[in-house]
Amino acid sequence: MEGSGTEGLFPLNKEKENLLGSAQDVHIPLQGNGIAPYHCKIFCDGDGDWILQSLSKENLVQVNHDSHMITTLHHSDLLKIGDYIFVFLADEDEKKKDLPPQNPNKTTTVYARVKTFEDTRKVIESLQQTDRPETRFSILYNISALLTRVGDLEELAQKVLQAIFEEFPADRGAILIQKKEKWIPLASQTKEDGPGGEIQLSQSIINEVIQSGDGVLTKDAIADDRFSGGQSIVDLNIHSAISVPLKVEKEIVGILYIDTIQQGDVFTEDDLKLFVAVGMQISQVIQRIKLEQVKRDKEKLELQMRDAERVQQFLIPKKIFRPGGLEIGAKYILSQGLGGDYYDVLPLSGDRLGLVVADVSGHNISSALVMCMTRSLIRQLFRSETSPAKILKETNDILVEDIMRGMFITIFLGILHVPSLSFTFANGGHPHPLYFTTSKKKIELRGEGSGPPLGITKEAKYVDSRITLASEEGILIYTDGLVEMPSPSGRILGLENLKVILDRALAFPAQNMVDFIYQQALQFSMFAPFSDDLTLLCLKVPEVFRHFSFELETRIEKIDPFIQRILPLFQSHGFATKKADHFHLVLREALMNAMIHGNQKDPKKKVYVTCYFTTEKAYLQIEDEGEGFDTARMVDDFKWVSSVSSHGRGLLLIRQYMDEMDFNNKGNCIYMNFSKHT
C-alpha cells in the first residue's frame, strides 16, 4: 500500500469480512478526503475467491483503473481508495486459479501486433497482402466451413485447434473463455499428447492480449544458449507464440493461443494476420451459439415461470367460504406473471374463520416460493393456535432461518369467531385495515401498533388487537399496491383517497365494494399498467344477522326430537313448509353422519349445530369431534360414492337439496346453506 505518506502490508482474514474505511473498528483504517467510515470490504467467498465490494455507489473502489461495486480480485490487481493505492497479493495457490499454469522462467517480447478486423472486407485486404494469400484463404475457408457444421461450443473449439495443428507447427494450443472472471481453457491440444491434454501457457502474453485488445506475435527477447547442444525437450520454453482476442461487439469473450518450442522464425506476422481472421470467424460463431443459448434459456425460464404462475394461481382461493351469510369479497391482481401478494379465507374449527392478506417482497420465482412457504406455515399453525400474534411469531422465527437475506413479508392475519362476531387480528408491517360501519358512515384505521415484517429478525414481537363487529359493519384489508398506485402526474392514491372511495361504496355488498374500489383505482391511474400487485379482502356483516347454537350428545335417538325442536325456528324466519321438509331430511342425514362416521357413536363426544339466518338465506353448520375425512375425494359420481358407503350417499342427498355444501380442511365440519326462493 502507498498513499498519504503511509505504506504497509495488511494480511486479510479468510474467515471474516475485512472492512476498510475511516471508522475505528475496521480491519484496515484509512484517513483523508473521499474515505467513508465503512468504505469497502474484502472477503473470501464459498469458492475460495477474494471479493471486493464497495459499500456505497458514491464511493466506488477503482480496480485496475475501473470503478466497481463488486468484483473478484486477482493477483497483482491495483486498488485505488481515495488517495491510497493497494496491490492485491494472492498466495501461491490462489495465483494458480486465475489462469492455466505458465512457465515462470521465460521472458517474452511482442514482435508484431495486428488490430482485430471490423468486417470481412478488412480480412480480405489484409490476407491479400500476405506472402501466400491463396494458401491462407484456403485455410480460412476450411476453418469457416468447419465452424458452420459444429453446434456445440466446446466441440467447435477442439475442432478448430485440430485444424490449426494440421496447418501450423504448433506445440501447444488453447482456446480460452472467461468464466467467473477467470480465463479457463475451453479446449486445449499439444503436439505430444493430442487434444485435451494439460498445457502450460504464458500469462504475460495473455495479459498483453487482454489489455491491448490486439492480436500479438511474440518472440524470445534474448537468444538462449542453454538450448544449443541437442536438448530435445527445451524445458517447455516458449520461443514464439501467437495469441489473438475473440471479440463480440468489442468485448473480449475468448482468446485463441498457440506457441512453439522450436527456435527460429516459426510464426510470422502474416501468420498473425490469418489468426486474427480466424479469431473473427470464431467470435461470430461464439456470438451465434451464445444467442441460441440465451434463447433456449429464456424459453426454459418462461416455461418455468408459467409453471410457477399456475402453481401460484392454484393456491389462491377459487371459492370463498362465507359462514352464516357473512359477506366476503376479494380482488387479486398481479402486476406481472408472478407476484408476491396472496390472501386466504380459511374455515377453522370452533365456529372460527381465518383471514390472511400478505405481500412478499419482489415479483419473481423466489417471491412466489416464499409466498407458498408462508401460506403452508400459516395454514398448519391455524390448526393449533388461536392467537394471530403467536401464529405470526412462530411463522417469523421459521422464515428468518429459511429465506434469503433481504427478503421479507408484510402480513395481516385475523380470526373471526362467527357466533360472537369477535375479530382478533395481528399485523406484521402491513397497512392497517379500515374498519367501517354503513349506518353511521364511519371509516377509521384499526390496530394497536404493528410488529416488523416476517423474515427480518427473531427478536420480532407481535400483539393481538380485538374488535367486535355488528350488523352493517366490516373490515377492509389491502396491500400497499392499492394506496401506492400512481397517477400519470406521479401522485399516489393514498389512504385519504381510499377512504373517500370506500365511503361511496359503503352500501354495496362486500364483493361489489372491492370491485368498485378497484375500478376507481384504475381510473385514478388512467388505466396504466400496475407497478405492484394489488389485493383487496373485505369482510362485512349483513344488515340482518341472527345465529343460534346447539349441542347434542352422540345418541341416535336424540336426532328426531332435536329436529322437531328447531323446525319452528326455520318457519319463523320465513321458510315455507316444503323448505322445512327439505331441511328436516338434510339435517337428519348430516347428524347421522356426524354421530356414526364422525364420532364413531362415542357417547363421550359431542355434535355442535349452529344456524344463521339472513333475510334471504339460512346457513347450517354441523361439527363433530371425530378425525374427519379426506374431503378431496368428494365427487359427483353417484356410482363411485354409493359403492363406498351410506355416508357417501348421505352427502349426495345433502348436496341435492342444499344450494351450497362445503367442509373445513379436517373434514369434521360441514357447511350448508339454502335460499328461501330456490
Q: Within a 10 A sphere around the Cβ of 101, how many other Cβ atoms?
A: 12
- Of residues 604 and 90, which shows the higher confidence score? 604
Give me the residue label for grid cell 485435451: 196
192 DSSP assignment? T
pLDDT above 80 for 677: no
Same domain? 166 vs 236: yes
Last residue of a domain, one of 97, 126, 161: 97
Look at residue 628 and tell me if it is in a domain: yes
Overall average pLDDT of the 576-591 stretch: 81
- Does the residue 298 lie in any domain? no
Residue 208 has pLDDT above 90, yes or no: no
Is there a single domain that holds both residue 597 and residue 471? no
State residue 234's pLDDT score: 38
Cα Rg of the chain (Å, integer): 38
Is residue 203's pLDDT more than 80? Answer: no
- Does residue 308 fall inside a structural domain? no
Whole-model pTM: value is 0.53
Give the confidence band of 150 by pLDDT, cuts at 50, 70, 90: low
Distance, CA of 387 to CA of 382 (rounded, Å): 9
Q: Count CB neighbours of 406 within 10 A.
A: 9
pLDDT at 226: 29
Q: 399 in a domain, yes or no?
A: yes
CB-based contacts of 297, cutoff 8 Å, min separation 6: none
CATH code of residue 231: 3.30.450.40
On whether both 328 and 358 belong to a single domain, the answer is yes
Of the pLDDT bands very low, low, confident and very high (cuts 50, 70, 90), residue 637 is very low
**Same domain flag for 88 and 104:** no
Among the three residues 70, 97, 124, which one is the final residue of a domain in this structure?
97
CB 572 within 8 A of CB 611: no
**Residue 108: predicted pLDDT:** 47
Cα dihedral 158→159→165→166 (10° resolution): 160
- Highest averaged pLDDT of the listed ranges 98-112, 135-149, 311-325: 135-149
CATH number at residue 476: 3.60.40.10
Task: Report the SS3 class of residue 309.
Answer: helix
DSSP string across 570-616: HHHTT--HHHHHHHHHHHHHHHHHIIIIISTT-TTSEEEEEEEE-SS
What whole-number distance in Å separates Cα of residue 174 and Cα of residue 604? Answer: 83
pLDDT tens profile 495-543? 999 999 999 999 899 999 999 999 999 999 888 877 788 899 999 998 7
Residue 225, by phi and psi: left (phi above 0), alpha (psi -120 to 50) or beta?
Answer: alpha
The band of 384, judged by pLDDT with boundaries at 50, 70 and 90, is confident
Give the domain-ending residue among 97, 112, 127. Answer: 97
The 10s digit of each residue's pLDDT in 434-454 is: 999 987 778 888 876 788 999
CA distance 210 to 215: 10
Q: Does one domain contain both 516 and 553?
A: no
Work out how many domains the chain is built from and give that number: 4
Domain range for 282: 99-291
Query: pLDDT averaged over the chain?
Result: 81
Domain assignment present for residue 338? The answer is: yes
Say if CB 414 and CB 464 are below 8 A apart: no
Is residue 528 assigned to a domain? Answer: yes
- Select from 441, 449, 384 the least CA-distant residue to 415: 384
Q: State the CATH number of the domain containing residue 64.
A: 2.60.200.20
pLDDT of residue 199: 75
Q: Inform me whether the pLDDT recorded for 16 exceeds 70.
A: yes
Both 121 and 58 in one domain: the answer is no
Q: Are residues 92 and 143 located together in one domain of the fold?
A: no
- 299: in domain: no
Using alpha carbons, select from 164, 159, 243 the residue that is nearest to residue 209. Answer: 243
Percent of the chain with pLDDT over 70: 86
Question: Which secondary structure element, helix H or strand E, spans residue 308, and what is its range?
Answer: helix 269-315
Whether 282 and 396 map to the same domain: the answer is: no
Cα(183)–Cα(176) distance, rounded to whole angstroms? 6
Q: What is the pLDDT of residues 272-323, one digit of tens each?
A: 989 988 888 888 887 787 778 788 888 887 776 677 667 667 778 877 877 7
Listed in sequence order, the residues at least 6 apart from 529 whose beta carbon sits closer than 8 Å to its beta carbon are 335
Residues 91 and 143 in one domain: no
**Torsions phi, psi of 667, nearest 5?**
90, 20
**CATH number of the CATH domain containing 573:** 3.30.565.10
Whether residue 63 lies inside any domain: the answer is yes
Q: Are 273 and 337 within one domain?
A: no
Q: Which three cell numbers stand for residue 528?
A: 396504466
Give the separation between CA 410 and CA 419, rounded to whole angstroms: 29
The answer on 491 and 401 residing in a single domain is yes
- In this structure, the answer to whether residues 509 and 380 fall within a common structural domain is yes
pLDDT band at 7 (very low <50, low <70, confident <90, very high): low
